[in-house]
A and B are shown apart, each in its own frame.
Chain A
């Protein structure tokens, strides 16, 4: 993970040198000359059954701008400049499923940019491309980009974009279309307002109409994406604009990127929050999507220790930014009834308000989302009646909050707090030990129990610098019980939008970010999840992205089994029918064979728990050597 996105505040950007690699591009084109010559000299091929279209016919059908016709190799294509703009933003990768509307940029990335920074990552579905960006950004601390074909590609990508937005993660998405469609083919791939298709779940979108505006919009978009509350942005690019020749390169300039400082809490409000917390007898800190950087992780430990308050990292929606073995990790013990609850980057504290008020307590919310209103999806439903609401970035507010807490803590109060903290630590330690012991139940069962699966995995990676790059929604608490999440990069968060299909492509995206860092990327993904974008296995194999994917193969959507069962129970009928539509056993799916088919090393399906450790060991050997591997574990539902 990049340690601080603020390092990007002032980046030296290449300016008028965007055509400097044109010579390399021309050389590459020249290199193709002999082959073309040889082809031209070869005997005339047999007349094909269907004649290829003429240039005019192709233009009429595909709607190209015509700018490329007869242009030949040389300097000054607009899309070359676009690639230089993207390079100025330090974007390392561009995930794509190809589309004719962005063929100009695609070609420029290859022949002008040399397929580096950004390097093209070939995806087999746009949702996977969008979701790879999501996982990558959380692991690296900076955005990745994906490009989509007009309308059709963007709609495929929609789910991935939505989850990225819901998780408040930055990404640079680019969609291309023909603003003046000319045929029945490209009209459906174009739109009068392309951004409208996903505007409900991007932070900002724009369709620049000139190259200068493209540069400004890209730089502006990067800043918007990275300013809390972070989120994906969308650039819409006309295919004709990409193909334009640039007559006067010196007239083009890439603006300097100036990052916005994140919003900090108002001084008086922070002072009041600190006073409430220091005075509280049983404060509780609850976390949402708090620490974008490892500095934020460290500050969070400082705050908890300054207050000697328990830290509840919350459910699947959060990033769990606190060490899982810290004495203050937990909710204080079974009898801990908080009188002040501090929510850091929690966007819904309705339950906290209810809980605190039941004890006569109060609530404080610090969240950047208070600065972001108006979305179709965001501002409705539960309203939390907080006692103190601070519209600010939680991580950016931590230093001043810690300082205030320390200032208000007298030596006598400090002794009291430490005594409280020691009691909390003892309660947490007892609960932690009891929770580990729970793992013994069903230890030798087949299908394999989830705790057995996680314990076998832990044993194999305990000496690695591992990073869990999938969410933990479907493996419950076992990862946190057995593995020591002692650093920020150990966990990469969950989907954000509670939508299935995130884990597999996000794991590949995060593993791409971790590639070359020495971190061992591990994703535990559901079989249901993998079936949404299995093609991402090929992407991982093709790009040699080291990643261990463990498939929690329970052959169904078991949460949904229970949901249908609940409805049937309420209605008093059909309680034995709720598997219908929720399980997939006839025929059974072999994920090991699926991976093999995509060219990835695989093990399984593993049914006997005693086979699991050796299978993990063999797969990890491949991963440590730099390639992905998959282990298919036939598992208990939960």
Chain B
């Protein structure tokens, strides 16, 4: 387990997308918004390593947790296809979700790849005594 404070420092202090990564986007053909057609979003190959700092830079953690599984809605395990994910974040249908239509498709594919790479930290509820005791109470009700 990484130390909590180091983790928060790394995420909350991030002031901008690292320049090196911006360069990587250009090199990988990400380009500006719209450079890749929307219907091609499912065909772009994402890179989880590049996606992680993007997940943090675009503040996904504020609602979804630092690793996508403690907020609401939960992102891990990801249930959308890459194409559906990119379509949604570029044109969200809920009031709370920011619009990421200006973010390159390649970047969104990288973020998607990062989310997909996260192994859920989710033991079965029955194996967690504190949760199991709540479930038992509900059974009794």
Contact = CB atoms under 8 A, between A and B. Distances in A.
Contacts of A586: 13
Contacts of B62: 556, 558-559, 561-562, 565, 637-638
A443 B1 contact: no
Interface string A416-448: 000000000000010011001111111111111
A325 B138 contact: yes
B43 interface: no
A620 to B, nearest CB: 16
A634 B8 contact: yes
Contacts of A565: 58-59, 62, 98
A466 interface: no
A412 interface: no
B63 A562 contact: yes
Nearest to A568: B98
Contacts of A570: 99
Given A442-B65, A443-B128, A579-B15, A325 B59 contact: no
Interface in B1-54: 1-5, 7-9, 12-17, 33
Given A585-B8, A638-B71, A445 B98 contact: no
A591 interface: no
B5 to A, nearest CB: 7
A558 B64 CA distance: 11
A440 B131 contact: yes
Interface in B93-113: 96-103
A138 to B, nearest CB: 27
Contact of A634 (B4, B14, B99, B137): B4
B131 to A, nearest CB: 6
Contacts of A441: 69-70, 74, 76, 120-122
B102 A572 contact: yes
B12 A583 contact: yes
A476 interface: yes
Nearest to A636: B70
Interface string A606-638: 011000000000000000000000000010111
A636 B137 CA distance: 27
A605 B4 CA distance: 10
B8 A638 contact: no
Nearest to B133: A459
B65 to A, nearest CB: 5
Interface stretch (A334-342, A450-458, A512-520): A450-458
Nearest to A633: B4
B76 to A, nearest CB: 7
Interface in A23-54: none
A315 interface: no
A591 to B, nearest CB: 14
Contacts of B4: 446-448, 607-608, 634
A597 interface: no
B135 interface: yes
A433 B96 CA distance: 26
Contacts of B72: 476, 638
B16 to A, nearest CB: 5
Contacts of B88: none
B117 interface: no
Contact of B99 (A446, A569, A578, A585): A569
A223 interface: no
A489 B96 CA distance: 32
A440 B128 contact: yes
Contacts of B9: 585, 588
> B17, B72, B125: which has the most chain A beta carbons within 10 Å?
B125
B8 A555 contact: yes
Contacts of B8: 447, 555, 585, 588, 634
A10 interface: no
A572 B33 contact: yes
B100 A577 contact: no
A607 B66 CA distance: 14
Interface in A441-495: 441-451, 455-456, 458-459, 476, 481-482, 484
Contacts of A579: 12, 14-15, 59
Interface residues of B, number: 54
Contact of B102 (A325, A556, A559, A573): A573
A566 B99 contact: yes
Contacts of A573: 102
A429 B138 contact: yes
Contacts of A562: 59, 62-63, 96, 98
Interface string A384-413: 000000000000000000000000000000
B76 A446 contact: no
A173 B29 CA distance: 65
A576 interface: yes
Contact of A440 (B64, B101, B102, B124): B124
Contacts of A185: none
A421 to B, nearest CB: 15
Contacts of A439: 125, 131
A538 to B, nearest CB: 27
B70 A449 contact: yes
Nearest to A446: B4
B121 A444 contact: yes
A491 to B, nearest CB: 17
Given A441-B70, A455-B131, A585-B8, A575 B63 contact: no
Chain A CB count within 10 A is highest, among B2, B12, B17, B58, for: B12
A575 B137 contact: no
Contacts of A459: 130, 133
A589 to B, nearest CB: 12
Contact of A443 (B16, B33, B121, B137): B121
B98 A443 contact: no
A442 B131 CA distance: 13
Contact of B7 (A440, A446, A482, A605): A446
Nearest to B92: A569
B15 A442 contact: no
B78 to A, nearest CB: 13
A509 to B, nearest CB: 30
Contacts of A455: 130-131, 134
25 contacts: A325-B141, A433-B135, A436-B134, A436-B138, A441-B120, A443-B123, A444-B1, A444-B121, A445-B70, A455-B131, A555-B12, A556-B12, A565-B58, A565-B98, A572-B102, A575-B102, A577-B16, A578-B59, A579-B15, A580-B15, A585-B9, A634-B4, A637-B65, A638-B62, A638-B64
Interface of B: 1-5, 7-9, 12-17, 33, 57-59, 61-67, 69-72, 74, 76, 96-103, 120-125, 128, 130-131, 133-135, 137-138, 141
Given A561-B59, A636-B71, 5 more contacts: A432-B138, A443-B121, A585-B13, A638-B70, A638-B72
Q: Which 6 A-B pairs rank lowest in CB-CB distance, beginning with the nearest?
A: A607-B4, A569-B99, A569-B98, A572-B102, A442-B70, A638-B71
